[in-house]
């Protein structure tokens, strides 16, 4: 694998120049708070009140001002040293010329209940990730279903079959929104015979999945050889705790359509042992199991965690992530890189423009200047080494995948905002 030259910039981190004005404001505000607290203390000590209600009122005001001052002081931690980052994926493409130069990527998708988290959302999430502008043979997608539902498994099989048409279509037409539901529902969808044909295929797949969810089981009319093979494993009685139940390869050749590299993407689905009396600890337990299973199966140096109802709206996301992990100046000490989250239908009028700015935009920029932002729970790329021992003890199979061997400093976290 080739890596960036010293003069080839992959990313840029910049301290916001406006922080000087905020620091000046914080200094003045601190003086005002100190004056108010001094006045309250002087009132209590030097001018004692004669009645209990007046004393209690003054004491309550003191406590309120102390609490508000403490909250304001904590909020200033996000504004003292704000750092913005910018990746340069165009420079990365000058280094990684061949598909085999890219490091492998494991994607973890977690779901729990097919009725609270519809299988079509799981399928849409998987399809949006499969269609990344990334070598498909380097992608491995792991889906954990705490509910152990055959309905979710059916949706994944249908998504994989549809992906054989959807992935080449996205690549050839340079589709940006690669979640089918979002693309066909947008005003940017092309209006031609090919698009209408693929849209019809997607609607048929969606109808099949929704009908299966409505009936609660897989009817004979929807079963095929792929379903029989997968559900044969699903119904086996001698399954150990937490194993892979479905593993197949998604070829990207469609009829006479030219093969875009003739590569494949591996999808794996796993379920907890429903006979075990032990708690599986929900999403945390699912991620831990996926981490162990993927270490044995693919052991990719980078891991992407996603919720089942979160789709990727930018196919170049993995390339932007690599701009940080492949930078020798920060990559050896980098624990994870994560992207902000947007919400469709955040409220009825969408007055926030699908964004929760304070949590996902403002605060992480401030934390970038400290030890790094907190984990959002989704949309995050982890270095596998962050989960296995100290940075100075790399996993042996990963030595071939990254350019550094021995590390000494503590991990860093970066948020892209």
Residues in binding site for UDP-alpha-D-glucose: 116-117, 146
- Going from the C-alpha of 48 to that of each of 52, 58, 159, the distances in angstroms are 10, 10, 74
Take residue 407 and report the two structure tokens written for it: 């590390």
Annotated binding residues, written as ranges, equal 116-117, 146, 283, 307
Cα gap 10→253, rounded to integer Å: 33
Angle at 84 between CA 82 and CA 87, to 5 degrees: 160
CB of 317 closer than 8 Å to CB of 339: yes
Cα gap 96→107, rounded to integer Å: 21
Cα gap 353→221, rounded to integer Å: 43
CB of 304 closer than 8 Å to CB of 380: yes
CB of 50 closer than 8 Å to CB of 116: no
- Going from the C-alpha of 253 to that of each of 166, 230, 259, 353, the distances in angstroms are 11, 22, 5, 39
Residue of 121, 131, 152 lying closest to 310 (CA atoms): 121
Determine the 3-state secondary structure of 292 from DSSP: helix
DSSP string for 264-279? EEEEEEEE--TT--S-
Annotated binding residues for Mn(2+), written as ranges, equal 283, 307
306 has which bridge partners? 109
Q: What is the DSSP-derived secondary structure letter of residue 85?
A: E
Sign of the alpha-carbon torsion through 352, 131, 146, 104 = negative
DSSP string for 44-73? HHHS--SSHHHHHHHHHHHHHHHHHHHHHH
């Amino acid at each position: 694998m080739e890596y960036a030259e010293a003069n080839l910039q992959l990313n840029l981190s910049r301290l916001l120049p406006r922080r000087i004005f905020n620091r000046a404001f914080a200094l003045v505000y601190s003086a005002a708070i100190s004056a108010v607290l001094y006045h309250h203390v002087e009132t209590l000590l030097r001018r004692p009140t004669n009645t209990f209600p007046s004393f209690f009122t003054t004491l309550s005001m003191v406590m309120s001002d102390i609490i508000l001052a403490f909250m304001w002081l904590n909020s200033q931690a996000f504004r003292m040293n704000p750092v913005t980052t910018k990746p340069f994926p165009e420079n990365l493409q000058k280094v990684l010329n061949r598909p085999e130069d890219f490091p492998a990527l494991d994607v973890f998708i977690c779901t729990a209940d097919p009725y609270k988290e519809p299988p079509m959302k799981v399928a849409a999430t998987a399809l949006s990730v499969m269609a990344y502008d990334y070598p498909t043979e380097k992608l491995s997608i792991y889906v954990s279903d705490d509910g152990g539902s055959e309905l979710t498994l059916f949706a994944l099989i249908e998504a994989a079959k549809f992906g054989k048409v959807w992935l080449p279509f996205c690549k050839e037409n340079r589709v940006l929104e690669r979640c089918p539901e979002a693309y066909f529902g947008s005003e940017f969808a092309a209006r031609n015979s090919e698009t209408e044909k693929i849209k019809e295929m997607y609607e048929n797949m969606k109808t099949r999945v929704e009908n299966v969810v409505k009936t609660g089981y897989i009817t004979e009319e929807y079963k095929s050889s792929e379903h029989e093979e997968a559900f044969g494993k699903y119904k086996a009685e001698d399954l150990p705790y937490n194993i892979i139940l479905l593993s197949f390869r998604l070829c990207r050749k469609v009829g006479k359509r030219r093969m875009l590299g003739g590569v494949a993407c591996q999808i794996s689905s796993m379920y907890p042992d429903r006979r075990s009396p032990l708690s599986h600890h929900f999403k945390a337990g699912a991620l831990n199991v996926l981490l162990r299973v993927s270490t044995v199966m693919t052991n990719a140096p980078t891991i992407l965690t996603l919720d089942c109802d979160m789709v990727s709206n930018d196919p170049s996301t993995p390339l932007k992530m690599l701009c940080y992990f492949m930078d020798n100046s920060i990559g050896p000490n980098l624990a994870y890189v994560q992207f902000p989250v947007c919400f469709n239908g955040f409220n009825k009028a969408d007055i926030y423009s699908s964004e929760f700015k304070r949590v996902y935009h403002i605060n992480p920029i401030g934390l970038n200047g400290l030890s790094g932002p907190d984990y959002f729970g989704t949309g995050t790329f982890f270095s596998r080494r962050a989960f296995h021992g100290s940075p100075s003890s790399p996993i042996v199979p990963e030595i071939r995948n990254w350019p550094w061997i021995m590390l000494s400093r503590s991990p860093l976290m970066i948020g892209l905002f």
